[in-house]
Structure formats: C-alpha cells, structure tokens
Amino acid sequence: MTRIFLESLRKGRLSRAVKASSAGPEYEKAGQELRALIARHFGRSLQIREVDAGSCGACESEIISACNPIYDIQRFGVDFAASPRHADALLVTGPVTRNMETALLRTYEAMSGPKFVITCGDCALDGGAFKDSYYCAGGAGALLPVAAHVPGCPPHPMALVEALLRLLDRLNTEGQPKM
C-alpha cells in the first residue's frame, strides 16, 4: 500500500484539465439555455429515469458521455434518478423488447405527474430497424405518450440537450407539453 502511494506521488496527476468550453461554444450556449428553462419550470433540476428497453448499448454510451467531464450535462440541471418515483421524465432507449415491455410500463406507472416520456435513439420511438422482429413490442411510441424524441443512432450529447430544449420550450404553466 505504501509503495502504491509513493508511486502515485512520484507520477503526479495523470488526468488532464478540462475547460468549461471543451464541448464547443454551441453546446455551451444550448446548455445555458437549458439551464434557464429547467430553473423556470422545475426550480432546481430535471430528474430523468432512464430505461434500457432493449438497446444495443450505444445509446447508453452516449448518455454516459453526456455526463462525462467534457459534456457534463449535470451542470445544466439535468440529473439521472435511481427511482422512477423521483423522476420528472422517462428516457427510453432501444426498440422495446417483449421482455422489457412490462418493466417499461410499470416504470411509467410508478412516476408521479406531470411526467414526460422521451425516446432516445432511432429505434426507441417505433422500433426502427427492429420493428418487424417477433420480439419487438413496436417501440415506446406504441405503448406510451411520447413528448420528445432524441434523434440519432446513437444520438450525440448535443442531440439530447437540443431535444430537452425543444420539450421544455413547449411546456405550459401546468408543466404539460403544448401539442
């Protein structure tokens, strides 16, 4: 243990410093707009419950990227809740496989209103390339009221910020999206 500690001291810090603008000026600008909208509608933060309904994993990789030190979406007031009971929005990835259909519906039912469903990735909305599979329930759009979609396969963190911006921009005073 002492040897590891001394070796760490000898090597010094190996990580590099990340500037606030590492993700680019457009991402920063959109993020600041998102932060203002979240403050207006939710007071402090927007809590998202993510459900992988059968994705290939790449959509999750991009969601994880959105939380890394470069994109750091949490500084704009977006956070991921461990329980649907604490969530304002449900983020669905994957084409909704038959074995995730019930879990997805129960997650939605466990959320208190007002609540929003956001599909993330091209196959989440309608099943995409997997929609004709015997094991696909047809995408979240066939099961739940989808308020916003994050396009891409997989979607870039910027696409997630832009989709949230469009959704929150449409919220009325009751916290429901204006259709």
Residues in touch with ligand SF4 (CB under 6 A): 55-56, 58-59, 93-94, 121-123, 128, 153-154
Shortest Å, Cβ 128 to ligand SF4: 6
Q: CB-side exposure of 58: number of CA atoms within 13 Å?
A: 11
- Asked whether 104 and 142 are in contact (CB, 8 A), the reply is no
Looking at beta carbons only, is 123 or 144 nearer to ligand SF4? 123
Shortest Å, Cβ 155 to ligand SF4: 8
- State the residue number with the nearest CB to ligand SF4: 121
Looking at beta carbons only, is 123 or 148 nearer to ligand SF4? 123
- Asked whether 91 and 115 are in contact (CB, 8 A), the reply is no
Torsion of CA 82, 86, 92, 93, to 10 degrees: -20
Shortest Å, Cβ 95 to ligand SF4: 7
Single-letter residue type at 71: Y
